[in-house]
Amino acid sequence: EIVLTQSPGTLSLSPGERATLSCRASQSLSSSYLAWYQQKVGQPPRLLIYGASTRATGIPDRFSGSVSETDFTLTISRLETEDFAVYYCQQYGSSPPTFGQGTKVEIK
Amino acid sequence: QVQLVQSGAAVKKPGASVKLSCKASGYTFYNYFMHWVRQAPGQGPEWMGMIDPSGGATSYSQRFQGRVAMTRDTSTSTVYMELSSLASEDTAVYFCARGNLRARLRFDDWGQGALVTVSS
């Protein structure tokens, strides 16, 4: 199965700052089948990005995704207070679908 | 709009089984695979398996093979997940999640989750 490794584990930033989250896959993903989810305490994950760089419906444009070979990046251009949460990457190109261990974005 | 409404929390003893439900509405039930994903406290999500509601075919993670069963009731647009031989490590929040129409292993919509606690 494909292993996804996210870094850093925790990101401490202030509102208005830029957040850069990384996700590395153990092997290449077919058709960049990588998604990013946001999860807040007590809630299910919410789909943010799919296909490595396409925003899901209703997701603000301060969220963006990019890819370079097996390295994927989620960028939040200017953090809003509601963006402080845990973020997971997930590959859906092969079964079993797998998730990274998450990056927590916390208020500094 | 798509809604996935799950059954409530459960407390089970080691060795017991739990059966969770997920009632779907707001879309054509037959057309979308339904998945079960669990999340242990402080951990990332983990995929358990999926069911094709149109014919009932299933595919399970090897980690749960032999211990999990997913079924569906087309008359009520509900899917079920039963996990047997529970151990303390099965304490987690269990989510149902609807797969994307074309990218079936991508989870576009989620239920609210159901906490299963396994304790003696």
Whole-number pLDDT of residue A10: 97
Q: Among B15, B31, B32, B6, which Cα is nearest to B85's?
A: B15
Query: Are A90 and A102 contacting, i.e. CB atoms less than 8 angstroms apart?
Result: no
> Each residue of B3-44: pLDDT tens digit?
999 999 999 999 999 999 999 999 999 999 999 999 999 999
Q: What is the mean pLDDT of residues A99-108?
A: 96
Q: Do B44 and A88 touch (CB under 8 A)?
A: yes
Q: How many CB atoms lie within 10 A of CB B117?
A: 14
Q: Is B111 on the interface with A (CB under 8 A)?
A: yes
Query: What is the pLDDT confidence band of residue A30, given thresholds at 50, 70 and 90?
Result: confident
- Residue B14 distance to chain A (closest CA, Å): 25
Residue A31 has pLDDT above 80, yes or no: no
**Out of B61, B105, B108, whose CB is closest to A47?**
B108
Q: Do B106 and A50 touch (CB under 8 A)?
A: yes
- The alpha carbon of residue B56 and the mean position of all alpha carbons in its chain are separated, in whole angstroms, by 14
d(CA A2, CA A44): 23
Query: A–B: how many Cβ contacts below 8 A?
Result: 52
> Each residue of B66-95: pLDDT tens digit?
999 999 999 999 999 999 999 999 999 999
Query: What is the pLDDT confidence band of residue B50, given thresholds at 50, 70 and 90?
Result: very high
d(CA A106, CA B47): 26
Q: Is B71 on the interface with A (CB under 8 A)?
A: no
> Each residue of B88-109: pLDDT tens digit?
999 999 999 999 999 999 999 9
Q: Which two tokens stand for residue B43?
A: 């951990």
Share above pLDDT 90 across residues of chain B, in percent, rounded to a whole number: 100
Q: What is the mean pLDDT of chain B?
A: 97
Q: What is the mean pLDDT of residues A40-45?
A: 97
DSSP at A50? E
- Residue B4 distance to chain A (closest CA, Å): 11
Q: Which helix (H) or strand (E) holds B80?
A: strand B78-83
Whole-number pLDDT of residue B23: 98
Q: What is the mean pLDDT of residues B105-118?
A: 98
> Each residue of A50-98: pLDDT tens digit?
999 999 999 999 999 999 888 999 999 999 999 999 999 999 999 999 9
